[in-house]
A and B are shown apart, each in its own frame.
Chain A
Amino acid sequence: MKETRNRFVFLAAVILVAVVPLIWDNYYFLSVLSTTGLYIILVTGLNVLLGYTGLVSLGQAGFYAIGAYASGILVAKTGAPFVLGLLLAMLLSGVIGLIIGLSSVRLRGGYLAMVTLGFGTVVQIIMINWDDLTGGAEGIWGIPPVGFGPLKIVTPLAWYYTIFIIAGLIVLLTYSLERSRIGRAWMALREDVAAAQMMGINPVHYRLLAFVVSAVYSGIAGALFTHLNGSVFPDAFGLQTSIMILMMLILGGSGHILGPIMGAAIVNVGFEILRPFGNYQSLVFGFLIVLMAVFMPQGFMGLWRRLAALWGEAI
């Protein structure tokens, strides 16, 4: 029943994503949607860590940055094809995810949050100070667009489809992970570590795996970001980005495959709506985070479930 419903939602989402730009082919609109696609990848990455495995990370922007810089620097400086840049981004963010995981796999909620937050800060410090490689605070400009052989992705429409195809593949991969032995192990660890251990699940291995998967997803998003924008600069990967990813996940519904999609869409479009607030945009953003934590701690999925329960009682 649940599976049929999920399949139906997937199918509906795919059709929606494919058709929307054909109806409303507007440059600004497409770029907002493309960013939403990037965030779907990033938030799905956090969902693997926090939603399934129960590990709080405030350093997702760090992995995002590593992916962006790895691919950007390789492609811009050596002229390597995008595919190599993407592979390097995945490899490097995965390895660093493994290192961060190794150093903090035994830490509890709040401690892990602080270590990952510190990791994000350190990545940003390195980006700003390693001038020769990263271009310092200015960043790197003029990075060539994505190309698969002779096929170059330049128009906003092509970008839109590229990002959503990759995001869709990642969501599908995550969905099959969730339903596999690995996903069940992650969720068992989230619920009760001791019980999971009794079932023969090695917490260290599975948590490290979650770290690596999450970091690789963020690395992919980073590589796409670089080539979409044609530039990388430290400002895009600050603490606020990590917080935004966390907010999207919680708002959309942590631990649910569709949570990241809903959260990324709502928050990203919402942030665009807040744009007329100008200087007050971030102020309002912070205020909304607090309101959400107080009044909707379970996000929209929780709200939905509560409404569904009420509905069930009514009939």
Chain B
Amino acid sequence: MTYILLGLTIGAIYALIAIGFSLIFETVKLLHFAQGELLMLGGFVALTLIGLFGLNPIIVGLGTMAAVGFFAAFLQRVVYQSVPSHLIAVRIMATLGVAIFLRNAASLTWGAKARTIPEAFFPGGPIAVAGLIIRPGYYWTLIVSIAVMALLLWFLYRTKIGLATRTVAYRADIAEMMGVNPVLLCTLSFGIAGALAGISGLLVSPQTFVHFNMGIALNQKGFTAAVLGGLGSIPGGIIGGFVLGLIETIGGSLIPSGYQDVISFVILVLVLFIRPQGLMGQVQREKL
């Protein structure tokens, strides 16, 4: 039971990263390998904001989302957009360069020590569900991430800008003919993905510490979750995140702790081998 709860909480984080991956992949056609680093940035920005404004969840939460979101939009506008889209390897390299830069910038700015957001930041006391005591950091992670996911789904499927975003994802040239500016919408998608990463960096703190090197592992897990659900599918990313979180915590309790991070790689390879379209996506495999 404890494992299920832990799995769902970490799964919510994976789902948020996976959605960011999918959103960027669909609109910008880029696999953003620095997504985990944006999350790390979110954690540190949140810590800085707590230092400035005290334990105010609303200001800190919204401030983190805005800061990382704007930064991600800036990255897209200044860096990724300038790299020719047919040079896949160079685009991947650009995202890796950004990741290295952010990791080192964070360790120089905020220090190499792992830090954590104080528990008192999450309002309310522990609650008991079915004989299990849940600390506020955990249930807030679930509540906030599910609210954010719902908001994003509403935005994408019920608003005009959401429709425009999905059109750009479908075909940028058609969207342009319909009077949509794809460049603007790609920047917007990056901003949304950044905001998601920012809030996840804040939420992940009770489970893993905020550390300059945390991005690498989270990146791989978020990507695995996205592929598991079907890369490019937002609902798929949500399901993939929760499923991966559950498999990892339950499976992780059975194997030596050092090897826990191998699970997501095995799942990634298996999914790509057996069902590359994921649970809900389209085929992304070459027929050879």
Q: Do A and B come from one complex?
A: yes
In-complex Cβ contact of B262 among A103, A125, A280 (8 A): A125
Instruction: Report the Cα distance A290→B102, complex, angstroms.
Output: 11
Q: How many A-B residue pairs have CB under 8 A?
A: 147
Q: Is the CB of B258 within 8 A of A128?
A: yes
Q: Quote the shortest CB–CB distance from A296 to chain B (angstroms).
A: 9
Q: Name the one of A107, A113, A294 contacting B94, with C-beta atoms under 8 angstroms.
A: A294
B227: which of A109, A111, A243 is its contact (CB, 8 Å)? Answer: A111
Check B108 against A204 for contact (C-beta < 8 Å): no
Chain B 84-104, CB-CB to A under 8 Å as 1, else 0, gives 100111111110111111111
Cβ-based interface call for A285 (8 A)? yes
A58/B100 in contact, CB under 8 A? no
Which residues does chain B contribute within 8 Å of A282, judged by CB atoms? 100, 103-104
Is A203 part of the contact surface with B, judged by Cβ < 8 Å? yes
Q: Does B272 lie within 8 Å of A111, measured CB to CB?
A: yes
A56 near B: Cβ within 8 Å? yes
Known: A290-B79, A294-B82. A56 touches B273 (CB 8 A): no
Determine, out of B40-48, B149-157, B243-251, B280-288, the stretch whose residues face the partner at the interface: B280-288
Does A122 make an interface contact (CB < 8 A)? yes
Interface of A is mostly: helix
Instruction: Point out the residues of chain B lying under 8 angstroms from A294, CB to CB.
Output: 79, 82-83, 94
Q: Once bound together, how far apart are the Cα atoms of A193 and B252, in whole Å?
A: 40
Q: Considering only CB atoms, which chain A residue lies closest to B29 in the complex?
A: A110
Task: Verify A293–B79 contact, CB threshold 8 A.
Answer: yes
Q: Is A141 an interface residue (CB 8 A)?
A: no
Query: CB of B148 within 8 A of chain A?
Result: no
- Annotate B262-288 by CB proximity to A: 1 below 8 A, 0 otherwise: 101100110011001000000011111
Contact of A121 with B by CB under 8 A: yes
Provide the residues of chain A in CB contact with B94, threshold 8 Å: 289-290, 293-294
Q: Which of B187-232 contact A (CB under 8 A)?
A: 216-217, 220, 223-224, 227, 231
Q: How many chain-A residues does the 8 Å CB contact rule pick out?
A: 50
The residues of B that contact A50 with a CB separation of less than 8 Å are: 89
- Which of chain A's residues have a CB closer than 8 A to the CB of B256? 129
Please determine whether A58 and B92 come into contact, CB atoms closer than 8 angstroms.
yes
Inter-chain contact B97/A246, CB cutoff 8 Å: no
Q: Is B105 an interface position by the 8 A CB rule?
A: yes
Residues of A within 8 A of B (CB): 50, 56, 58, 103-111, 113-115, 117-119, 121-122, 125-126, 128-129, 193, 197, 203-204, 239-240, 243, 246-247, 250, 254, 279-280, 282-283, 285-290, 292-294, 297-298
Q: List 23 A-B contacts (CB under 8 A).
A: A103-B269, A107-B272, A108-B284, A109-B89, A111-B272, A111-B276, A118-B264, A118-B268, A126-B262, A193-B286, A239-B216, A282-B103, A282-B104, A286-B97, A286-B99, A289-B96, A289-B97, A290-B98, A290-B101, A292-B97, A293-B90, A293-B93, A297-B84
Beyond known contacts A107-B286, A117-B220, A290-B97: 4 more, CB 8 A cutoff: A114-B220, A122-B265, A246-B92, A283-B104
